[in-house]
Structures are given as structure tokens and as C-alpha cells.
């Protein structure tokens, strides 16, 4: 830096002296550094970079210099003001960050506070369970068929090869609507939906029928006058018992896990011939009958759980429902949804399903 | 059916080493399902030995009882060989008798441990046992006195008493009536092992002659065969042999007297129900006919019964005195076998199964004989069964078989069934060849006529269940084994997924659960008590119910017309168990009678016509699907966020609106009065001009009747109606991106004017530029005057094609207010 130009211009401008400019700049930088918060910084900005700050005032004096001195003085002031302005911006950013950080800390809440302002709702496991079953079959290309709970006697019994004097009618203790000779019952199974389906559609038919059914059973831990069934019906050319087995094995695995299959035992149902009981590999002990060295409680040590009934659709049923029994064969199966859920979830008392205690239902959440 | 294993083994030679578990597993696989294996005395631990009473000293006691102080020779079983001193309270024995003694250390059923203990002034070292104490029956009148040849003192008593013998209980399906006999069970056991079988009913019987008791059959369809044999000189005091009594007990029947026990024994053995008449009380020939109008009979259970007449009426057995029995179901009192009977006329008759079923059902008689007759017994073995009865009666009762043998009628012919050899394979999907088909059908007793591609089977007489081709398929398949059925997935048709209604129903449930409601499934039965509690008027349509002819409870004799009672009770139950608030919902069918006459019963040999099917459907009650919600107590909880909130009328209405929004249906809300709601806080809900249902606060009396807090709210709607109105296809919405213009207006109206009315007028008046309208405040107070209220609405305007000018917006707002003023008398608040 050159010395003062005293031989060119007699006017000496003190604020433009390098020492003065440096002092003003240093004072400004010190004030900026010393600013502890945004308010102090604002004050420092006002004092050291504002219109009335020494550097601003000095800047105004440049015009008073002789032309050849202006450049140097202008550079000097400009550099000083630039340093101050940079320091201000840096400090501003610093303090803003600090402020924000402090503010966020101050706004800390207890995130573990409860948020259960509106209590949780839930759908009933019988509903979601029936939907789960329906979804398994829909995924196989089946459809879900439904029908009324108060049903014509002919559809509930006769059409299914349960004639008026069929001994099997006594197996199902029926609720009759009054008068009892008007041929209207509370359906004892969902099979009339199968009959309705056959009456209204032409094969191929692949339907699953979940629904509420009624029998005059006393209400206890394992019996209920109102319960739920799911039945399936497949009618097509060339349908055999093997297809029934394949379908039920698939259903069992989808419902209870891979490796859970079924076995058939000969049985009797008027609507199927041959007929079979379906047992399920116990999914708790996986068929061993033992759990932790003790007899499995779920299957009572048998390794199998009774699941439902099934068989090849009796050609008499096909005929009554208008299906060509020469061309088509079919299979049907049925099981209790309540019972299926009871052993799937280890529910000991059937009545828990119908009491409406929200603690029972909400426990299932969206599990199914 | 309970069958001792030893009895089964009498008729079939099972291979060596076959255990009861093996046997039951194989029989279950054939269709005779194992119910339980019982073993009498399994819970008895010895020493249980034969003892000989040496001395007995009666000793009267202060309590009035007399006990016997006995010494009993138990051989070396007590370790000393010395007589055992035992106190016994029974008196039905004498010194020298062989008895059953449990020695100290033994355990009797019920965990009753025996020890030497001081009683009645003696140390009683053991106990002389009664049948009941050993779990062998109910007989506790005295101790068991064994036959003199039962064994030596000190010998183990288990075998002598038949203890430890296994009895299998089977669950017999209704089609397998033949398995309601040891004959049938043993036949299946032989089938299971391919073992030799001896038919207990295969015996040579004396030829029929004209000397037997006279029998006339007036109804051969009802009673195709009637065999009568006579035993005279029978000793009515003769005891039933122990082995027979034990087997009857093991089979679950109570020994009564030799004559009755023999008939029951032969029924168990052959499956053929037998009836015995006191021959000295019979008057003239036995006749079988249908009952006539007005006839009555007192059956041997002491019940006086009015009989059903006509061609489908009760089959009765008569003699000259009148009716003496309900054929095949139960005998009458007048000719009952008694302790003075010395002449027994044995009836082995075959009865029409349907007639048996009807009579049993009509008179609510469930007997062992009836059970077999209505499922179908073997008609061909009536002579053999009668002969077996005569044999046992004369062997153990000392009488004489009269030479007369009456056989009236013949066993009905069996149908023939023709099938292709490949039918079992085609139906089951198993690899079953022609040879297997033939072998298995012959194994179950079918007689076959074999053609090239088909065979014709005549089923055996004990299999009335075999009538159709598929019946034969099942017989072949079960012997091959159901475990051989392959597992193959069918080739499914292309499904269309869930129906729209099924999807909507799921959506409704999820919406309500999402709104904090918990689903309930309750029983749909209802009675007057619930209707009273709801406050339904006598002529309320909901009191017109579908009634049940046989309700479980006379208190709830109807199928419900409303879901509310079940939900209200469930709500009260939850609150009673400590919940501070509940929101419950249920979707379920309700029923309304239609009175369109009975539902016809058609034949089953062909499909009913479309008209006939329609008639079936018409006869059924209307069964709409309802949805109901009950909200009681706390709806929002109190917490750090502030106070909680009790359920109220608006929560119920809000839920319906939310459902409407979920299903894309606009729900109309109008004030209404309807039980069981609060008359001033009830909304009628509508969609597309149809009434959907009602929602609001429950009447205070209803809350009280169900034990719910005041201001509890409820809704009940017809879900079918709501779902019917749901949009099938939603058109893509058009919306403008030009700027929004906002105008708020406050209108003062009379208190009786509803927000919906004012809002509708504003909407209509504002015209097409109105994008939305929302009520944001309601004010009542001095500033608006008594009986008035101020409703503040936010109006939002937007044009599809331009930015609205202030003038346009103001004009639309003014038009809206003007129409509201005209329609509802609204005055704009300044």
C-alpha cells in the first residue's frame, strides 16, 4: 500500500486513512464475532454496516478525494465493507442454525404419550375368517355364493336327497317357522345355497358358500344353536374324489400352513356318495400327537383334527337341481367356521364368539 | 354301538398279534368310526382276589344297622395264608360263598384306596365288593356272590369278573344299520383283515309248518315277514347267565330278566330286533295292520298313546283283545313279559323302515329296536334270529321249544344295480381295476353277474343302503382305502372374483372398524320383552315377526326384525364388565313375514320348473340385510389432549354419512320421530328417495331399560338399500384450476328450520358457480332473538373457464341468500 498522497491534494480525509479503515473494519468484525444471538447481531449490523456506520460514512467521503486517489481509497473501503458483510452473513447463518437447533430442542415432546383418543375398532373374527376362506377359494378361480338364512324346506332337505322320511333328518334338529307345515325352516346347513346355485347356473360351477346356520342345540362351550359353515361345490366334467382331496389339501395348507394336509374317512351324508369325513393334520403338533413331551391338547394326542364332511355329489341331487348327471360329476365339502377358528386360535369356549365382549374381538385386530 | 372285543373275535379269526388299537384303526378306515375304547376295571388296582367266607358274625350297631364281622379265606394272597378279618354291611351271602375281596393296598374306581382300618370295633383288613364298587353296574343291594366253580380262594378275580376286557364304542352312520350288531361289526373286521368270518345268523332252522302260533298280516308292505316261535314251560325265575348279563352291560343295556335279556342279546348279536309276548296273555291270532282312527295303546313304558291311522299310520300288532303293540317300535303292557311268564311267543318280524321312522318320530320313542328297524335290519335272518332266541331261552330257562314254526311272508327282493367296471376309478380318481371292483363288491356280500363292460350286483339282504351305482363305488373305494385317493387340483373355471355386493359389505365393515366400532355377532332370536324395552307400539311393524314353531326359548320365539336388542344387550354387558364406553356394530339378516302361503315341496326326480322355483322363493320371508350401531358412554377418551367426549346423536348420524361417502352415495338426513329414538333427536336417513333407516340418540326410557347411560346413540339401516344405491362406475370428476372465491354468510332463521333446508336453498340459489358449501357455525342467543338461531355458511365459488369477478361472486351469493330467505325466512346477519 502506498503512502498518503499529500502532494496531490491538500485535503486530508481522515476516515479514509488506512489505519482508520482497518480500525473500523476490525471493530466491526469484533462486534460481529461477539454477537451472541440474532438480536445482538442485528445491533452489530446496524452499528457497523448500517448507513451511519463508520465504513458507510467513510465511503461517502471517497467523492471528496482527488480522482487519482479515489481508486485506491475505494478499493480499501470496499474490501473492508466486503469483509464485514461476509462476516455478518456467516455469523447470521451460524446464529440462525443455533437458534433453530435450540428452538427444536425447546419444542421436544414426550412421544410416548398415549394417542388413543378414539378407541380402536375391530371386525369379528368370524367375519374376517370367512373372508379369509373366501379369498383362498377366489384365488383358485372359485366364486362366493350366498343365500337366505330362512329357507324353503325343499331346498334345505328334499333337493339334497334328504326326503321327508330320511333318517338323516333327525341328525339335524331343525328350527321350523310357524306353522311348521308351511315348508320353511332356518337353514340347517349352507347346502341349500349349493342347490340354489345349481338351479340358477350351468356347469362348470365352482362356488364356496359361507354363512350362518341353525340347529336346535343347547348353548354350551362347544355347541350353539347359531353357528357358521362354509361349504364348497364343484361341478364339472370329469370331477373325481381326487379333485376333492386336492382342493381340501390346498385349502388346509393355505389356512393352516404348508405341510398341513387332510385325510378322508368313510362316512355318510345323503347329498354325497361316496362320502367322507375330513381330518386335518393337527397344525399344533404337526401330526405327531405330542407337544413338549406331553399329549397334544389341540388334537387330544390323535395327530388329527376332525374338520368336516365331504364327498362326491350324489347324482340324485344333481338330477333334482337340473344338472345333467350323465355328463357332469361334482364334489362338495363343508366345515364349521366357528370350529375351524376355535382350533386355529385355541379358543376354548364357543360362547366367546357370541358374547360381544370387545376385548375378545379387538384381540384379533386385523390378524385374519 | 358298544361291542366287547371278545364278542367280535367269536365270529372272526383275526391274525395273531392284532391289538384293539389296530382293529379300531382299520375299522375306522372302513367307516366304523372309533368313538372310545372302554376297559371295565381299568381303574382298579389289585390285589383283587376270590375269597371264601369262613365265618360271619352279625353285630347290631347303635345306629340301627347290623354289620357282619367275617373271616374270609383269601389263600396266600394276603401273604400269611391266615383268614382275613373283614367288616361287611351286606347280608346277601353265607359262610362258604365265594366272594370278591379287595385287600389293603388295592385301589377301586374313583381312586378309593383300601387299607386296614378300625371300624365298628374291629380292624377290617379289606373289603368284600359289590358290583357298583367295582364299576360293574349299579347293583349295590349286596355284594357279588360268585358261582361255586369260579375259582380257588386267593386267585385273581379280574378274569372271573371280566374286568380288563376292552369294549369298543363305534359311531355308526345311519346308512350302516348292519353295523348295529356284533354280526355286522365282525363282518367288517373280517373285511379289514381278509380274515375268516363265521356268520352267527347262519344256522339251520326248523322248516315252517302250520303248527305255530297263528299270525295274519293285513299289511304286507308294512310287515313283509313275521316269524313266530313258542317256548313253553319256561322258568321265569331262572337267572340270566353272568356272561350274558355282562355282555349286555358292556353293550350299554341293563339286564332285566332272562327272557328280556335273551331278546336283547340276540338283537345285539344279529341286529335283528326281537319281541317276546307272554303267550298265556295272548288271545287268539296275532294280526298286523295299520292303526285305525281313535285307537290307543299303553306301551310298556306306561305311556298311553293315541295312534295315527291311515295308510301311512302306525303299524300295530293285535290279538282278539285289541292292540297289543306298536309293531317294531314298542310292545304293549297287556302281553308284556313278566316274572310269572312261563310261555313265551317270540316274534322276529321285518318292518318297513319308513313306517318305523315315522312311528318313532310321531311318538317320540327312541328304542334300541326302533333304531335298528328304522335304519333297516336284515329281513332274511328272521327265522335264524327267532331260533337263536328259542335256543337261549330253553338252554338257560329250562323250557321246551314248541314244534310249531310260523313264517308269514317273504323277505323283500333286493334291487339289482348295474355299473361299469371302471365306475369306481372314474368317480374316485383312484387306480381301481376291474378285478378289484369285483373282489370288493363280493367281499361286502354282493352277488355279481358279470358282462363284458358292466357288472350287475345284487346287494346282500343286510345292506338296504346299497341301491345306486355310486353306493357300490363307495363300497369298492372304502375297501381299497380312502388314503389311496390322490390329491389333484381341479381345472377351475375362470372366476369373476367377489361380487360387488360382497366387496361393498367388506368395505362397510372396514369403515366402521376404522371409525372405532367393534363388530358383534348375536343370536337373531327375539321376544316381546325386547320389543317392550324398545318401546315399540303394539302395531309397530317390527312386532310382526317370523315365528318359530319350536323356539329354544318361549321367551324369544321369533326371528328378529331389528338388530338393536342384541347390540344394546352386548353394549350393556361391556359396560357392566368395566368398559367406559363402547361402539358396537352388527350386520345381519332380519326377517319380515310375507304371508304368501306355504313353500311347496316338490319331487326330486327332476328339476322343478322356473315357475316352481319362483314359488319357493316367493314363500320365504323378506330377509333384508341390516346394519346397526350402538354407541354408549365414552366415545372419545379424556387425555393429555383435553377432556373426553360422550357418544351422542351426531356420532350415529356421522357414521351413516361416512358410510355413504365410502360407497359414493349421498345420504339425505331429515328430522323424524321413530321408536326407539329420542323424538327430538332422531334422523331419518335416505338415499335416492328410498328410506335407508334411522339414527340419533336413544330415547331415555330405552337407555334405562337396557341399562345404558343416557344419551346413548344408535343407528339401524337397511344395508341392501345402501349397497343398491352405491355407484357402479364412478365417472372421472372434472374440476377447475381457476382461483377460488370465498363468501361467508350468516343467516338467522327460526329454530325449527333445519340446517339442511337452509343449505339446500343456498345451494340451489347460488347456481352453477358454487363449488362447495359448508355450515361452520350455529349460534343461538340474545343477538339473534328468542326462538331464532344463526347459521353461518362458507360458500366457495369457482368457474370452470375463467377467474370470477367480485361482482359475479357477489351476485351468486346474493341469489343464494335471496332463495334461502324466500324458502326458509332466513335473514342475513349484518
Instruction: For residue range A81-103, list pLDDT tens digits in order.
Output: 899 999 999 999 999 999 999 99
**Which region among A132-136, A161-165, B68-72 has the lowest average model confidence (pLDDT)?**
A161-165
Q: Is the dihedral of CA A159, A164, A167, A170 positive or negative?
A: positive
One domain, residues B447 and B596: no
Q: What share of chain B is helix, strand, coil (3-state, %, to 5)?
A: 30, 30, 45
Cβ atoms of B84 and B134 closer than 8 Å: no
CATH of the domain at B97: 2.40.50.140
- According to the model, what pLDDT value does residue B137 have? 67
CA distance B444 to B175: 14
**Which region among B132-136, B597-601, B617-621, B628-632 has the lowest average model confidence (pLDDT)?**
B132-136
Cβ of A167 within 8 Å of Cβ of B570? The answer is no
Measured CA angle at B107 (ends B106, B112), to 5 deg: 130
Residues 608-627 of chain B whose Cβ lies under 8 A from any Cβ of chain A: 608, 613, 616-617, 619-621, 623
Cβ of B582 within 8 Å of Cβ of A261? The answer is no
Q: Name every chain A residue with its beta carbon within 8 A of the beta carbon of B174.
A: 167-168, 171, 268
The alpha carbon of A95 is separated from its chain's Cα centroid by a whole number of angstroms, namely: 45
pLDDT tens per residue across span A269-315: 999 999 999 999 988 888 888 888 888 888 888 889 999 999 999 99
Cβ of B497 within 8 Å of Cβ of A138? The answer is yes
- According to the model, what pLDDT value does residue A187 have? 96
Here the cell at position B288 is 298286523
A98, B441, B563, B589, B707 from B712: Cα distances, Å? 53, 69, 16, 24, 10
Distance between A99 CA and the closest CA of chain B, angstroms? 28
One domain, residues B687 and B590: yes
One domain, residues B599 and B554: yes
Residue B600, chain A, CB below 8 Å: the answer is yes
- According to the model, what pLDDT value does residue B262 have? 97
Residue B242, chain A, CB below 8 Å: the answer is no
Interface test with B, best of A138, A273, A277 (most B CBs within 10 A): A273
- According to the model, what pLDDT value does residue A299 have? 85
Interface test with B, best of A112, A115, A119 (most B CBs within 10 A): A119
CATH of the domain at B654: 3.30.930.10
Percent of all residues in chain A with a pLDDT value above 70, rounded to a whole number? 93
pLDDT tens per residue across span B670-729: 999 999 999 999 999 999 899 999 999 999 999 999 999 999 999 999 999 999 998 888
CA distance B343 to A55: 146
Residue B413, chain A, CB below 8 Å: the answer is no
Asked if the structure places residue B659 within a domain, the reply is: yes
- A275, closest residue in chain B (CA to CA): B474
Domains: count for chain B: 6
Instruction: Decide if pLDDT at B247 tops 60.
Output: yes
Q: Is the dihedral of CA B494, B500, B505, B507 positive or negative?
A: positive
- According to the model, what pLDDT value does residue A198 have? 96
Cβ of A247 within 8 Å of Cβ of B489? The answer is yes
First-to-last alpha carbon distance for chain B, in angstroms, is: 92
Residue B752, chain A, CB below 8 Å: the answer is no
- According to the model, what pLDDT value does residue B249 have? 87
Instruction: Decide if pLDDT at A169 tops 90.
Output: no
Average pLDDT over residues A152-176: 84
One domain, residues B641 and B551: yes
pLDDT band at A10 (very low <50, low <70, confident <90, very high): very low
Residue B710, chain A, CB below 8 Å: the answer is no
One domain, residues B548 and B628: yes
Q: Name every chain B residue with its beta carbon within 8 A of the beta carbon of A167.
A: 174, 353, 357, 374-375
Instruction: Decide if pLDDT at B830 tops 80.
Output: no
pLDDT band at A166 (very low <50, low <70, confident <90, very high): confident
CATH of the domain at B451: 3.30.56.10
Interface test with A, best of B313, B513, B522 (most A CBs within 10 A): B513
Average pLDDT over residues A245-255: 95
One domain, residues B614 and B715: yes
Query: For chain B, what is the mean pLDDT?
Result: 93
- Nearest by CB to B620, from A150, A165, A205: name it: A150
Q: Name every chain A residue with its beta carbon within 8 A of the beta carbon of B494.
A: 141
Asked if the structure places residue B91 within a domain, the reply is: yes
One domain, residues B442 and B390: no
- Nearest by CB to B579, from A218, A263, A358: name it: A358
pLDDT tens per residue across span B805-825: 999 999 999 999 999 999 999
Distance between B720 CA and the closest CA of chain A, angstroms? 13
- According to the model, what pLDDT value does residue A366 have? 60
One domain, residues B565 and B616: yes
Distance between A349 CA and the closest CA of chain B, angstroms? 15
pLDDT tens per residue across span B90-105: 888 889 888 999 988 8
- Nearest by CB to A182, from B478, B598, B623: name it: B598
DSSP B365: -
One domain, residues B544 and B669: yes
- A314, closest residue in chain B (CA to CA): B470
Q: Name every chain B residue with its beta carbon within 8 A of the beta carbon of A179.
A: 549
- According to the model, what pLDDT value does residue B159 have? 78
Instruction: Please state whether B151 falls in left (phi above 0), alpha (psi between -120 and 50) or beta.
Output: left
Residue B473: which H helix or E strand, with range? helix B469-480
Instruction: Decide if pLDDT at A60 tops 90.
Output: no
Average pLDDT over residues B226-242: 94
Instruction: Decide if pLDDT at B457 tops 50.
Output: yes
Here the cell at position B221 is 308292505
Distance between A344 CA and the closest CA of chain B, angstroms? 19
Predicted-complex ipTM score: 0.86
Measured CA angle at B68 (ends B65, B71), to 5 deg: 165
Average pLDDT over residues A224-244: 96
Residue B401, chain A, CB below 8 Å: the answer is no
Instruction: Decide if pLDDT at B139 tops 80.
Output: no
CA distance B238 to B342: 11
Asked if the structure places residue B156 within a domain, the reply is: no
Asked if the structure places residue B764 within a domain, the reply is: yes
Q: Name every chain B residue with its beta carbon within 8 A of the beta carbon of A181.
A: 598
Residue whose C-alpha cell is 296275532: B286
- A209 C-beta neighbours (distance < 10 Å), count: 25
The alpha carbon of B30 is separated from its chain's Cα centroid by a whole number of angstroms, namely: 25
Cβ of A113 within 8 Å of Cβ of B640? The answer is yes
β-strands A143-144, A205-214 pairing: parallel
Asked if the structure places residue B206 within a domain, the reply is: no
Instruction: Decide if pLDDT at B500 tops 80.
Output: yes
- Which structural domain, as residue segments, surrounds residue B8? 2-40+165-193
pLDDT tens per residue across span B534-590: 999 999 999 999 999 999 999 999 999 999 999 999 999 999 999 999 999 999 999
Cβ of B474 within 8 Å of Cβ of A181? The answer is no
Average pLDDT over residues B250-275: 94
Here the cell at position A202 is 350351468
Asked if the structure places residue B201 within a domain, the reply is: no
Asked if the structure places residue B495 within a domain, the reply is: no
Cβ of B506 within 8 Å of Cβ of A268? The answer is no
Interface test with B, best of A166, A201, A358 (most B CBs within 10 A): A358
pLDDT band at B351 (very low <50, low <70, confident <90, very high): very high
Cβ of B516 within 8 Å of Cβ of A120? The answer is yes
Instruction: Decide if pLDDT at A128 tops 50.
Output: yes
Cβ atoms of B160 and B147 closer than 8 Å: no
Residue B729, chain A, CB below 8 Å: the answer is no
pLDDT tens per residue across span B192-224: 999 999 999 999 999 999 999 999 999 999 999
Cβ of A199 within 8 Å of Cβ of B487? The answer is no
CA distance B589 to B571: 20
Measured CA angle at A199 (ends A197, A205), to 5 deg: 45
CA distance A31 to B194: 112
Interface test with B, best of A266, A271, A328, A350 (most B CBs within 10 A): A266
- Nearest by CB to B639, from A117, A153, A181: name it: A117
Concatenated DSSP letters of A65-117: S-HHHHHHHHHHHHHHHHHHHHHHHHHHHHHHHHHHHHHHHHT---TTS---S
One domain, residues B684 and B646: yes
pLDDT band at B138 (very low <50, low <70, confident <90, very high): low
One domain, residues B347 and B369: yes
One domain, residues B428 and B404: no
**Which region among A316-330, B33-47, B351-365, B721-735 has the lowest average model confidence (pLDDT)?**
B33-47
Here the cell at position B829 is 346477519
Residue ending a domain, among B409, B438, B467, is B409
Considering only CA atoms, which of B84, B51, B79 is closest in space to residue B69? Answer: B84
Asked if the structure places residue B583 within a domain, the reply is: yes
Distance between B133 CA and the closest CA of chain A, angstroms? 29
Interface test with B, best of A148, A153, A154, A246 (most B CBs within 10 A): A154
DSSP B773: E
Q: Per residue in B116-148, is it b (16+ CB within 10 Å) or e — as a string?
A: eeeeeebebbbbbbbbebbebbeeeeebbbbee
Residue B96, chain A, CB below 8 Å: the answer is no
Instruction: Decide if pLDDT at A1 tops 50.
Output: no
- Nearest by CB to A226, from B523, B574, B637: name it: B523
Average pLDDT over residues B149-164: 82
Amino acid at each position: 500500500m502506498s503512502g498518503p498522497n499529500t502532494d496531490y491534494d491538500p485535503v486530508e480525509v481522515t476516515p479514509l486513512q488506512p489505519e482508520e479503515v482497518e480500525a473500523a473494519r476490525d471493530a466491526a468484525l469484533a462486534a460481529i464475532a461477539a454477537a451472541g444471538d440474532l438480536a445482538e447481531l442485528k445491533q452489530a449490523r446496524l452499528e457497523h454496516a448500517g448507513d451511519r456506520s463508520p465504513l458507510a460514512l467513510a465511503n461517502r467521503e471517497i467523492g471528496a478525494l482527488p480522482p487519482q486517489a479515489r481508486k485506491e481509497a475505494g478499493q480499501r473501503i470496499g474490501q473492508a465493507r466486503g469483509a464485514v458483510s461476509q462476516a455478518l452473513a456467516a455469523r447470521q447463518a451460524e446464529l440462525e442454525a443455533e437458534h433453530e437447533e435450540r428452538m427444536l430442542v425447546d419444542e421436544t415432546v414426550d412421544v410416548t404419550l398415549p394417542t388413543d383418543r378414539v378407541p380402536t375398532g375391530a371386525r369379528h373374527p368370524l367375519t374376517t375368517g370367512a373372508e379369509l376362506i373366501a379369498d383362498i377359494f377366489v384365488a383358485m378361480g372359485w366364486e362366493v355364493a350366498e343365500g337366505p338364512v330362512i329357507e324353503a324346506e325343499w331346498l334345505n332337505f328334499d333337493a339334497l336327497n334328504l326326503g321327508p322320511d330320511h333318517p338323516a333328518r333327525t341328525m339335524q334338529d331343525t328350527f321350523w317357522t310357524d306353522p311348521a307345515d308351511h315348508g320353511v325352516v332356518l337353514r340347517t346347513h349352507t347346502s341349500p345355497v349349493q342347490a340354489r346355485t345349481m338351479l340358477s347356473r350351468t356347469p362348470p360351477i365352482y362356488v364356496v358358500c359361507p354363512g350362518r346356520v341353525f340347529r336346535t342345540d343347547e348353548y354350551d362351550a362347544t355347541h350353539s344353536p347359531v353357528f357358521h359353515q362354509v361349504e364348497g361345490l364343484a361341478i364339472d366334467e370329469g370331477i373325481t374324489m381326487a379333485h376333492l382331496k386336492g382342493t381340501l389339501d390346498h385349502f388346509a395348507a393355505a389356512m393352516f400352513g404348508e405341510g398341513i394336509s387332510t385325510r378322508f374317512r368313510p362316512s355318510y351324508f345323503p347329498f354325497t356318495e361316496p362320502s367322507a369325513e375330513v381330518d386335518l393334520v393337527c397344525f399344533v403338533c404337526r401330526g405327531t400327537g405330542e407337544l413338549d413331551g406331553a399329549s397334544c391338547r389341540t388334537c387330544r394326542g390323535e395327530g388329527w383334527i376332525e374338520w368336516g364332511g365331504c364327498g362326491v355329489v350324489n347324482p340324485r341331487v344333481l338330477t333334482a337341481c337340473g344338472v345333467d348327471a350323465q355328463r357332469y360329476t361334482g364334489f362338495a365339502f363343508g366345515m364349521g367356521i366357528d370350529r375351524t377358528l376355535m382350533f386355529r386360535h385355541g379358543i376354548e369356549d364357543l360362547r366367546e364368539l357370541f358374547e360381544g365382549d370387545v376385548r375378545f374381538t379387538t384381540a384379533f385386530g386385523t390378524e385374519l | 354301538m358298544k361291542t366287547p372285543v371278545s364278542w367280535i373275535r367269536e365270529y372272526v379269526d383275526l391274525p395273531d398279534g392284532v391289538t384293539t388299537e389296530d382293529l379300531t384303526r382299520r375299522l375306522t378306515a372302513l367307516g366304523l368310526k372309533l368313538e372310545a375304547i372302554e376297559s371295565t376295571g381299568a381303574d382298579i388296582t389289585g390285589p383283587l382276589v376270590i375269597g371264601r367266607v369262613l365265618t360271619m358274625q352279625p353285630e347290631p350297631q347303635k345306629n340301627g344297622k347290623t354289620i357282619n364281622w367275617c373271616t374270609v379265606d383269601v389263600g396266600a394272597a394276603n401273604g400269611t395264608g391266615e383268614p382275613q378279618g373283614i367288616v361287611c354291611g351286606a347280608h346277601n351271602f353265607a359262610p362258604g360263598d365265594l366272594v370278591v375281596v379287595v385287600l389293603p393296598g388295592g385301589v377301586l374306581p374313583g381312586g378309593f384306596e383300601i387299607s386296614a382300618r378300625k371300624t365298628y370295633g374291629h380292624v377290617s383288613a379289606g373289603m368284600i365288593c359289590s358290583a357298583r364298587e367295582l364299576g360293574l353296574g349299579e347293583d349295590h343291594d349286596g355284594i357279588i356272590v360268585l358261582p361255586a366253580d369260579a375259582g380257588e380262594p386267593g386267585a385273581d378275580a379280574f378274569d372271573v369278573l371280566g374286568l380288563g376286557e376292552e369294549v369298543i364304542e363305534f359311531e355308526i352312520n345311519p346308512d350302516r344299520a348292519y353295523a348295529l350288531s356284533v354280526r355286522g361289526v365282525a363282518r367288517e373286521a373280517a373285511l379289514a383283515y381278509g380274515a375268516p368270518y363265521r356268520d352267527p345268523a347262519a344256522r339251520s332252522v326248523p322248516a315252517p309248518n302250520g303248527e305255530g302260533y297263528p299270525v295274519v298280516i293285513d299289511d304286507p308292505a308294512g310287515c313283509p315277514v313275521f316269524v313266530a316261535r313258542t317256548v313253553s314251560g319256561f322258568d321265569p325265575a331262572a337267572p340270566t347267565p353272568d356272561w350274558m348279563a355282562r355282555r349286555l352291560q358292556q353293550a350299554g343295556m341293563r339286564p332285566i330278566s332272562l327272557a328280556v335279556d335273551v331278546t336283547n342279546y340276540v338283537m345285539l348279536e344279529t341286529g335283528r330286533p326281537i319281541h317276546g309276548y307272554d303267550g298265556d296273555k295272548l288271545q287268539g291270532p296275532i294280526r298286523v295292520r295299520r292303526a285305525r282312527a281313535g285307537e290307543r295303546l299303553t306301551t310298556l313304558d306306561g305311556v298311553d298313546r293315541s295312534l295315527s291311522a291311515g295308510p301311512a299310520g302306525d303299524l300295530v300288532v293285535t290279538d282278539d283283545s285289541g292292540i297289543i303293540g306298536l309293531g317294531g317300535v314298542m310292545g304293549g303292557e297287556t302281553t308284556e313279559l313278566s316274572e310269572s311268564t312261563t310261555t313265551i311267543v317270540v316274534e322276529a318280524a321285518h318292518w318297513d323302515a319308513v313306517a318305523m321312522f315315522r312311528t318313532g318320530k310321531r311318538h317320540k320313542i327312541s328304542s334300541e329296536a326302533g333304531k335298528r328297524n328304522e335304519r333297516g335290519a336284515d329281513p332274511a335272518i328272521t327265522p335264524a334270529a327267532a331260533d337263536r332266541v328259542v335256543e337261549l331261552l330253553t338252554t338257560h330257562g329250562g323250557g321246551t321249544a314248541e314244534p310249531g314254526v310260523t313264517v308269514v311272508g317273504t323277505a323283500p327282493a333286493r334291487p339289482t344295480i348295474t355299473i361299469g367296471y371302471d365306475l369306481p376309478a372314474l368317480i374316485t380318481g383312484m387306480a381301481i381295476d376291474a378285478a378289484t371292483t369285483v373282489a370288493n363288491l363280493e367281499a361286502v356280500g354282493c352277488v355279481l353277474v358279470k358282462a363284458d363292460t358292466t357288472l350287475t350286483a345284487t346287494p346282500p339282504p343286510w345292506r338296504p343302503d346299497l341301491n345306486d351305482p355310486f353306493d357300490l363305488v363307495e363300497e369298492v373305494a372304502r375297501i381299497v382305502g380312502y388314503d389311496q385317493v390322490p390329491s389333484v387340483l381341479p381345472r377351475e373355471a375362470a372366476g369373476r372374483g367377489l361380487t360387488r355386493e360382497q366387496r361393498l359389505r367388506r368395505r362397510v365393515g372396514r369403515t366402521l372398524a376404522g371409525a372405532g366400532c367393534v363388530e358383534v355377532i348375536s343370536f337373531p332370536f327375539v321376544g316381546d320383552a325386547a320389543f317392550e324395552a324398545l318401546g315399540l307400539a303394539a302395531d309397530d311393524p317390527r312386532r310382526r315377526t317370523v315365528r318359530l314353531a319350536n323356539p329354544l326359548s318361549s321367551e324369544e320365539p321369533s326371528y328378529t326384525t331389528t338388530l338393536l336388542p342384541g347390540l344394546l344387550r352386548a353394549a350393556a354387558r361391556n359396560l357392566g364388565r368395566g368398559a367406559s364406553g363402547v361402539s358396537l356394530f352388527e350386520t345381519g339378516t332380519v326377517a319380515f313375514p310375507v304371508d304368501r302361503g306355504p313353500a311347496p315341496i316338490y319331487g326330486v326326480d327332476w328339476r322343478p320348473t322356473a315357475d316352481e322355483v319362483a314359488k319357493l322363493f316367493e314363500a320365504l320371508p323378506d330377509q333384508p340385510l341390516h346394519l346397526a350401531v350402538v354407541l354408549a358412554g365414552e366415545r372419545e377418551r379424556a387425555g393429555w389432549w383435553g377432556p373426553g367426549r360422550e357418544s351422542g346423536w351426531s356420532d350415529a348420524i356421522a357414521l351413516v354419512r361416512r358410510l355413504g361417502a365410502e360407497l359414493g352415495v349421498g345420504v339425505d338426513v331429515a328430522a323424524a320421530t321413530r321408536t326407539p329414538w329420542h323424538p327430538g333427536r332422531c334422523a331419518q336417513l335416505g338415499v335416492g328417495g328410498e328410506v335407508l333407516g334411522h339414527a340419533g340418540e336413544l330415547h331415555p326410557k330405552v337407555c334405562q331399560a337396557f341399562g345404558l347411560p343416557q344419551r346413548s346413540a344408535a343407528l339401524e339401516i337397511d344395508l341392501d338399500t345402501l349397497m343398491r344405491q352405491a355407484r357402479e362406475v364412478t365417472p372421472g370428476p372434472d374440476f377447475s384450476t381457476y382461483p377460488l372465491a370465498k363468501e361467508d354468510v350468516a343467516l338467522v332463521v327460526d329454530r325449527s328450520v333445519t340446517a339442511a333446508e337452509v343449505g339446500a336453498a343456498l345451494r340451489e340459489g347460488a347456481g352453477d358457480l358454487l363449488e362447495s358449501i359448508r355450515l361452520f357455525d350455529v349460534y343461538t342467543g340474545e343477538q339473534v332473538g328468542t326462538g331464532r338461531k344463526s347459521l353461518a355458511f362458507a360458500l366457495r365459488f369457482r368457474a370452470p373457464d375463467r377467474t370470477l369477478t367480485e361482482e359475479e361472486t357477489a351476485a351468486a351469493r346474493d341469489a343464494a341468500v335471496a332463495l334461502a330467505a324466500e324458502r326458509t325466512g332466513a335473514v342475513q346477519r349484518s
